[in-house]
Chains A and B, each alone.
Chain A
Amino acid sequence: MLRSLKLLGLSLLIVALPALASAVDVEDEKGTFSIEYTPKRIVVLEFSFADALAAVGISPVGIADDKEKARVLPAVREVIGDWESVGMRSQPSLEVIASLKPDLIIADIGRHEAVYEDLKKIAPTLILRSRRETYEDNLKASAIIGKVVGKHEAMQARLTQHREFMQSYKEKLPKGGSFQFGVARHDLLSLHPEAAYAGGVIKALGLENAKTGAKDGASRRVSLEQLLAVNPDYLIIGEYSKPNVLNDWEKEPLWNVLKAVKNNRIFNVDPNTWSRCRGIMAAEQMAKDLVKILTP
């Protein structure tokens, strides 16, 4: 009898072991985050987190997508299918998040620190940095997300694949010249410096960023004269509105002094991909865009 009980206990332990082993501890922006199960209903509050989930084939149930599904990268949308919008990234609706009954929330320390305590009441909350993150930061955050959602190996494989992809695109790209990415709105142009996400992707592809003099990663609003001071060889523009400030500048004599204008090296890219989305798939899309631009 005793023996069979022991046997029973042992077999229970064996059955329970995988469940115990699935407990993960990771470091997030608020210290150690632990989760003892594999989350099934995940809500993400930034596009870069959706990108990381899509990279390992997981579909979030809710995304803070600013109520515009088109803002999620097309490649990501293809993987994850449909989801519920939980409002703006800057002020996600906590009610909608709660109504989705998530078992994991991934939030951005830059935007959501003020509601971190509330989010924790809804579900375990992994809080990472998304806004102001660099290209390398993003890859690290993706690795953390991979661990938490129980896809550590798949994520590591995907990251290796990503580095190989970037390497192969790096080899395809011709060298030389400085690059500057900027976002054009109807009345202003803001340049993303080297320390910003897009600048990091440009660098990772072995290209040179134009010198803007900025030390941090914040995008800076510039006038035409300031743009001339930066004077990049290639100007990559994401147009948030059309017509925009560049259409006005085209009429000014200074415009024709720009190297990029003289050599006809101004190119348009999707502002959403280049400015809002960050992540493995976004970076790959940006690499594809650059190859398309530079190897006609």
Chain B
Amino acid sequence: MITPSRFFLFSTLLLVFLALTSLSFGAVSLSFLDVINGFFEDSEHYFTIHEYRLPRTLLAIVVGAMMALSGALVQGVIRNPLASPDVLGVSHGAGLAAVLYMTFLPDASTNWLPEVALVGGLLAAIVLWLLCGTSSSAIKLAITGVAMAALYGSAIDFVLLVKPLEVNNALLWLTGSLWGRGWPQLTSLLPWLLLIPLGLGLAKHLNLIDLGDDSAVCLGTKPNIIRLISLATAVGLTASCVAICGPIGFLGLIAPHLTRRLIGGRHQVLLPATLFVGALLLVIADLVARTINPPIELPAGLMTAIIGAPYFLWLLFSLR
């Protein structure tokens, strides 16, 4: 455990360093001077830096932070460290909508994919809400969510088997990637950033819920309402990110977890800190995915899964 002030100082420095690294390395390595010049339109590296790497790096920071916060909120509500936004079925719902769109309207423009995925993710959350209502226990919510996610997952597999036409495109999207995402995607994500202060504002209430519902009520909070707001915020954060980048696996699980190990579980510190950890993880994942075997680009989702899956297993075993 380290103190919060040290953590924030250190992670800010690390994030700045990684963002600069991310700007200078890729399939083509550039010097620091080239990177600086790349911000100006007359530079020959203008496209690479300003139009390509800069929005992509910023997107990695924003998406990483949002997914991590979403994970921390879900874990806070469900009060189980193995929970993640995935248990709400949002990513799978978005995935199913995207796959259906790609396979049954193969000639439709892929430009609409984010909107379709967003609607799918939100619909999945609404279905879960209709099934569980507001008064269900956290564990019932989690189990229903996992069951729905599995249902959407098998529907995705079914569609891919029956309509193999667009398998490649769909699979590419389903692994989660920052490839080809730029300023337009970053801009469309901006309104959703409002959810971050909303999520951070829930910190005190989440601490109280941690004490158990009875204590929370005695201490003047309304657990059901807080749970609803937290989950709705988490759904909005996840759905908007998944719509842009595809489901980036494990990020919402490991980022809050790592943060909890680093600085403890008080939500006032945990929630802002997890923003940094999530951003750092996704920037690293995308940097590795771009530079490991250039000019081949691996999906960032693959990288987070490679780190995330073993971490999850280790977590599962160490919890016993």
Binding site for B on A (CB under 8 A): 66-67, 85-88, 90-96, 98-99, 101, 110-111, 113-115, 117-118, 121-122, 131-132, 190, 216-221
Least CB distance from A48 to B in Å reads 16
A87 / chain B contacts, CB cutoff of 8 Å:
27, 294-297
Least CB distance from B80 to A in Å reads 36
The stretch that binds A, out of B129-137, B176-184, B222-230, B235-243, is: B176-184
Partner of A117, one of B184, B293, B297: B184
Partner of B52, one of A66, A92, A118, A220: A118
**Any A CB within 8 A of the CB of B53:** yes
Least CB distance from A182 to B in Å reads 14
**Any A CB within 8 A of the CB of B201:** no
**Any A CB within 8 A of the CB of B104:** no
Least CB distance from A212 to B in Å reads 13
Instruction: Kindly report which residue of chain B lies nearest to residue A99, judged by CB atoms.
Output: B28
B294 / chain A contacts, CB cutoff of 8 Å:
87, 93, 96
In the complex, are the beta carbons of A93 and B48 less than 8 A apart?
no
- Proximity string of chain B (18-51) to chain A, C-beta cutoff 8 Å, 1 when within and 0 when not: 0000000011100000000000000010011001
- State A187–B52 Cα separation when bound (angstroms): 39
Given A67-B295, A91-B296, A96-B27, list of 17 further CB < 8 A pairs?
A: A88-B297, A91-B177, A92-B295, A93-B295, A94-B180, A95-B48, A96-B294, A98-B47, A99-B27, A114-B110, A114-B111, A114-B180, A118-B52, A131-B168, A216-B165, A217-B165, A221-B161
- State A93–B44 Cα separation when bound (angstroms): 17
**Any A CB within 8 A of the CB of B318:** no
At the interface, is chain A mostly helix, strand, loop or mixed?
A: mixed
The A-contacting residues of B in range 176-202, CB under 8 angstroms, are 177, 179-180, 182, 184
Least CB distance from A92 to B in Å reads 8
Instruction: Kindly report which residue of chain B lies nearest to residue A122, judged by CB atoms.
Output: B47
Task: Determine which residue in B48, B113, B184 has the highest number of CB atoms from chain A within 10 A of its CB, and name it.
Answer: B48
What is the total of A-B residue contacts with beta carbons within 8 Å? Answer: 82
**Any A CB within 8 A of the CB of B169:** yes
Least CB distance from A108 to B in Å reads 11
Least CB distance from B116 to A in Å reads 13
A110 / chain B contacts, CB cutoff of 8 Å:
169
In the complex, are the beta carbons of A90 and B168 less than 8 A apart?
yes
**Any A CB within 8 A of the CB of B139:** no
In the complex, are the beta carbons of B182 and A91 less than 8 A apart?
no
A216 / chain B contacts, CB cutoff of 8 Å:
165
In the complex, are the beta carbons of A90 and B295 less than 8 A apart?
no
Partner of A91, one of B48, B113, B172: B172
In the complex, are the beta carbons of B180 and A95 less than 8 A apart?
no
- State A86–B27 Cα separation when bound (angstroms): 9
- Proximity string of chain B (285-297) to chain A, C-beta cutoff 8 Å, 1 when within and 0 when not: 0000000011111
Instruction: Kindly report which residue of chain B lies nearest to residue A100, judged by CB atoms.
Output: B28
Q: List 28 A-B contacts (CB under 8 A).
A: A67-B293, A87-B27, A87-B294, A87-B295, A87-B297, A88-B296, A88-B297, A91-B179, A91-B180, A91-B296, A93-B26, A93-B294, A94-B47, A94-B52, A95-B26, A95-B28, A96-B27, A99-B48, A110-B169, A113-B110, A113-B111, A114-B110, A114-B111, A114-B180, A115-B180, A118-B52, A121-B51, A220-B164
In the complex, are the beta carbons of A118 and B165 less than 8 A apart?
no
In the complex, are the beta carbons of B295 and A96 less than 8 A apart?
yes
B179 / chain A contacts, CB cutoff of 8 Å:
91, 115
In the complex, are the beta carbons of A67 and B110 less than 8 A apart?
no
Least CB distance from B108 to A in Å reads 10
**Any A CB within 8 A of the CB of B5:** no
Instruction: Kindly report which residue of chain A lies nearest to residue B103, judged by CB atoms.
Output: A218
**Any A CB within 8 A of the CB of B3:** no
In the complex, are the beta carbons of A98 and B180 less than 8 A apart?
no
- State A122–B52 Cα separation when bound (angstroms): 11
- State A121–B27 Cα separation when bound (angstroms): 18
B184 / chain A contacts, CB cutoff of 8 Å:
117
The A-contacting residues of B in range 276-303, CB under 8 angstroms, are 293-297, 299
Least CB distance from B34 to A in Å reads 11
B47 / chain A contacts, CB cutoff of 8 Å:
94, 98, 121-122
Instruction: Kindly report which residue of chain B lies nearest to residue A93, judged by CB atoms.
Output: B295
